[in-house]
Structure 1
Amino acid sequence: MSDRETWTSRVGFILAAVGSAVGLGNIWSFPFQTASNGGAAFLVVYLCAVFLLGFPVMLGEFVIGRRSERNAVEAFRSLGFGEWSVVGGLAVVSSFVTLAFYSVVGGWVLSYIVGSVTGGYLGDAGAYFGAVSAGPIAVGAHAAFMALTIGIVALGVTDGIERATKLMVPAIFVLMGGLAVWVSTFEGAAAGYAYYLSPDVGVIADNIAGIVPPAVGQAFFTLSLGFGVMIAYSSYLGRDDSLPADGSAIVVVNTLVALIAGFVVFPVLFAIEGSVPDSGGAGTAFTALAGAFSQIPGGQLIGLGFFVVLLFAALSSSISLLEVPTAFVADRTGYDRTATAVGLGAFVALAGVPTALDTGILGWYNDIVFELLLPLAVLSLSLFVGWVADDQLAVELNLGSSFGSGFSTVWLWWIRIVIPVAIGGTLLLGIQSLLVKAGILAAPIVLG
């Protein structure tokens, strides 16, 4: 694999992985998942899921990728377990389905940047969202966003992905931090902080079946787990990099961005509305925030800054989602990377047209990914790492690491026992939720 591209530096890998993790899930979805699932109660479950489930699973993807030096599908064959390549195939499907609707939301972001410059959404935020969220404008913006994504991936790992994320990830932090400081001066901000940071344990106990699946799905989505992204990215790593240290940095930085997003969104909403919207639907972030921006001093400028951050976050994740199938096809067939990225990107763009025409279809894509595909992919991967690949992956985790063999032993048993139980339960709850939404079940089944 000496002819395969590699990261030019460890920082480049970390920023690329952070860029993949830091996306619309952190800034668009997280605050409104929090709002529609009990506020700080959801935050507690989400943080537990990130550190107790997400971090160990991320290390599992890292060791598979670096050990094999292959994409998400070929990695299993390279390790001698070709029959398990279906797990990588599931990850590729998850990436494809996600990008098909994710790019539509990325197109909304482009429309809102235009609206920030022209003041288009300042008069009637709801009407503006209705105009740009579905129909010809949405299709065109979706195509423009996909063109940006394709262009970056086509340039390659170092000249495209690494260079772009080195620019976008620091910009996300600077802009989000500045916005958080600005909105902290608003009257009513304190109420937003209280809602965000004061968990009601009773809410968790009363609605555990409703909170856990979206919280765990959100954790996996924001960490780019179950998509094969971290397998693909770590396949370009050298043996002297510490996977636990790199994974810790990625998880912490990703979580900080999600938390900072809450420190922007909730003070703004409470300063203007005195509360958060009851619905956490796909367009809530756009309509609620755009409406709030139209009523605060300097709101048009704040809105521009916020939606530029959102664009950087969306692109940093979309390029990783396109990289997964691109790496698979390029590795498997030897086709030119540029042509592969263009062809696959165009295919994804066509698949996303239905979601650009109907936000209801987009919502179903989102639910299927969060509540079915990601838990299923992560459960399968944890079973492979814990029970099939023997100890070779634990040995891989120790390479370049100062954490010691004790850490890898605990990690391996955690992957074997805790992760499958937790994710298996989450998957069952997610399937139940989908059946309820589809009208097949009248109400969730309560056990005990």
Structure 2
Amino acid sequence: MGVSRGEFSSRIGFIMAAAGSAVGLGNVWGFPTQTASNGGAAFVLVYLVLAFSLAYPAFMAEILIGRYGQANAVSSMEKMAKKAWQKKFAFLVGFGGIICAALILSFYGILAGWMMSFAVESAALIAGAQGVADWVTGGSVMRNLFFTTLFMFLTVFIIQRGVEDGIEKWSKRLMPMMIGLLILLIVYVLTLEGAQEGLSAYLNPDITRVLEPNLLLSALGQAFFSLSLGTSVMVIYGSYISKRENMVTIGAQVTLIDVSIAFLAGLLIIPSMYVAQAQGVQIFADDGSLLAGPALVFTVLPSLFEGMGNLGLFVGLAFFVLMSIAALTSSISMLEGPVSFVVERHNADRKKATLVIGMVILAISCAIISNIDLMLGLVATISTEYGQPIIAMLCCVYAGWIWQRNSLLEEIQNGYPEVGESFFWKIWPWYIKFVCPVAIGAVFIHSVL
């Protein structure tokens, strides 16, 4: 292979990049919505438990496959194969994850474009440009095409610069900025009328609900989705990690950051909903169900910001900038999967490959925009409800049943020589063989039914 791959220059570089991939709209938008729809604090409690007991082991499988293979997702998995059928299976899983990532990015870019348009609306209103503000939130096809293209351009710009100068450098810049904005917004919202009621709903669990099947499966699905499992992303990021690093510790740190930011996002969104309710905005139906659902961030929160007067323009600007940053830290990882495959398997120039693949994904986005009512939900369902859980499950099966146990242990011992005596090694191989595939399969069946 004649292509220079690059590598994360430091542990913090990988942690910021991997956490940035995991921390996207699924955390800042999806997690609070799921929480509000599934019992509030009870959902939070179950999510936290499942993220560490089930999502973390599956996450470890993917980054270990990448670190062992030191190549793109397909080549990394093929290196473990000993038989012809195993190589075919490896190609199916690795390439399936790449296709899944590309499909997710095709609709994700549209949603991210909406986040950017709402940020521009706030900036335009601050500047007194009412006409611009009306256009960017008008929902026209041209608006969608413009902001989706702009977001894809930013993603391509970062990926063209490679691992250290692109992914790592920008993750180190964007992640602290996102966390800082999130904390500032939380502090402000908690001072408003109604916030304490929302805080109580978020932090005081109804223990009787934690064993509800729908709540358990929704929490598990959220945990797997938020860690970017089943998209080849963590396999390729794992391949850029030095063999000297302790993968068990790094995996735990990334998972901790991911769930912490999801928790912080809920600490912002849930109290914000109750603040909006105190201002007269209807949040819940008579039966207690959430009215806005996935559209929460585009309906309830703008109403909240409007109720704050002129200050709300600045709060709204900060919030939608936060959402745009969260989207960008995830999108760069989704684009890196297919780019690394083309660059390494076909000795392609990274800048050209990134541009071409970015344009192909943008073309899919444009096709979705042309019939958005039908296509957006269809592509999202195929990629996230079908593709992701199937690929994540097959990755666990591959690591648990095909990767030889001694070879697996040797890989983890790079950076953690005493892992053979650890609690992690006593339970993780069994988790990856039996528990994780069954749990992911349950999520898949639940989403289908």
TM over 0.5: yes
Cα separation, 2, equivalents of 1:135 and 1:211: 37
**Which residue of structure 1 aligns with residue 287 of structure 2?**
none
Q: Does 1:141 align with 2:177?
A: no
**Which residue of structure 2 aligns with residue 438 of structure 1?**
none
**Which residue of structure 1 aligns with residue 419 of structure 2?**
404
**Which residue of structure 2 aligns with residue 22 of structure 1?**
23
Question: 1:40: how far off?
Answer: 2.2
> Contact 2:292 / 2:299 at 8 angstroms: preserved in 1?
no
> Contact 2:121 / 2:136 at 8 angstroms: preserved in 1?
no
**Which residue of structure 2 aligns with residue 443 of structure 1?**
none
Question: 1:244: how far off?
Answer: 0.9
Identify which range, 297-306 or 244-253, moves more after superposition: 297-306
> Contact 1:92 / 1:228 at 8 angstroms: preserved in 2?
yes
Q: Does 1:417 align with 2:434?
A: yes
What is the root-mean-square deviation of aligned Cα atoms in Å? 2.4
Out of 410, 415, 423, the position equivalent to 1:395 is 410
Identify which range, 343-352 or 370-379, moves more after superposition: 370-379
Question: 1:373: how far off?
Answer: 1.4
**Which residue of structure 1 aligns with residue 160 of structure 2?**
154
> Contact 2:118 / 2:136 at 8 angstroms: preserved in 1?
no
After superposition, residues 180-191 of structure 1 pair within 5 angstroms as 180-191=186-197
Q: Does 1:239 align with 2:251?
A: no
Which segments of 5 or more consecutive residues in structure 1 lack a partner in the other structure? 433-448
Q: Does 1:373 align with 2:387?
A: yes
For residue 423 of structure 1, what is the amino acid of its counterpart?
Answer: I
Cα separation, 2, equivalents of 1:301 and 1:137: 22
For residue 399 of structure 1, what is the amino acid of its counterpart?
Answer: N
After superposition, residues 205-244 of structure 1 pair within 5 angstroms as 205-206=211-212, 208=213, 210-244=214-248
Question: 1:131: how far off?
Answer: 4.5
> Contact 2:217 / 2:442 at 8 angstroms: preserved in 1?
no
After superposition, residues 214-293 of structure 1 pair within 5 angstroms as 214-274=218-278, 276-277=283-284, 278-279=290-291, 281-293=293-305
**Which residue of structure 1 aligns with residue 114 of structure 2?**
108
Identify which range, 31-40 or 100-109, moves more after superposition: 31-40
Q: SS of 1:5's equivalent?
A: coil
Out of 181, 198, 205, the position equivalent to 1:192 is 198
> Contact 2:104 / 2:384 at 8 angstroms: preserved in 1?
no
**Which residue of structure 2 aligns with residue 446 of structure 1?**
none
> Contact 2:400 / 2:432 at 8 angstroms: preserved in 1?
yes
The TM-score normalised by the length of structure 2 is 0.90
**Which residue of structure 2 aligns with residue 346 of structure 1?**
359
C-alpha spacing 1:366/1:198, structure 2 compared with 1 (3 Å) = farther
Cα separation, 2, equivalents of 1:24 and 1:202: 29
**Which residue of structure 2 aligns with residue 437 of structure 1?**
none
Question: 1:132: how far off?
Answer: 4.3
Q: SS of 1:273's equivalent?
A: helix
Query: Percent of pairs identical after alignment?
Result: 35
C-alpha spacing 1:78/1:128, structure 2 compared with 1 (3 Å) = farther
Cα separation, 2, equivalents of 1:312 and 1:130: 18
Cα separation, 2, equivalents of 1:134 and 1:317: 25
For residue 397 of structure 2, what is the amino acid of its counterpart?
Answer: L
> Contact 2:198 / 2:274 at 8 angstroms: preserved in 1?
yes
| Number of corresponding residues | 428
> Contact 1:5 / 1:236 at 8 angstroms: preserved in 2?
yes
**Which residue of structure 2 aligns with residue 428 of structure 1?**
445
Once the two structures are superposed, what CA deviation does each residue of 1:80-108 show, in whole Å capped at 9, x if it has no partner? 34122211112112101110110001100
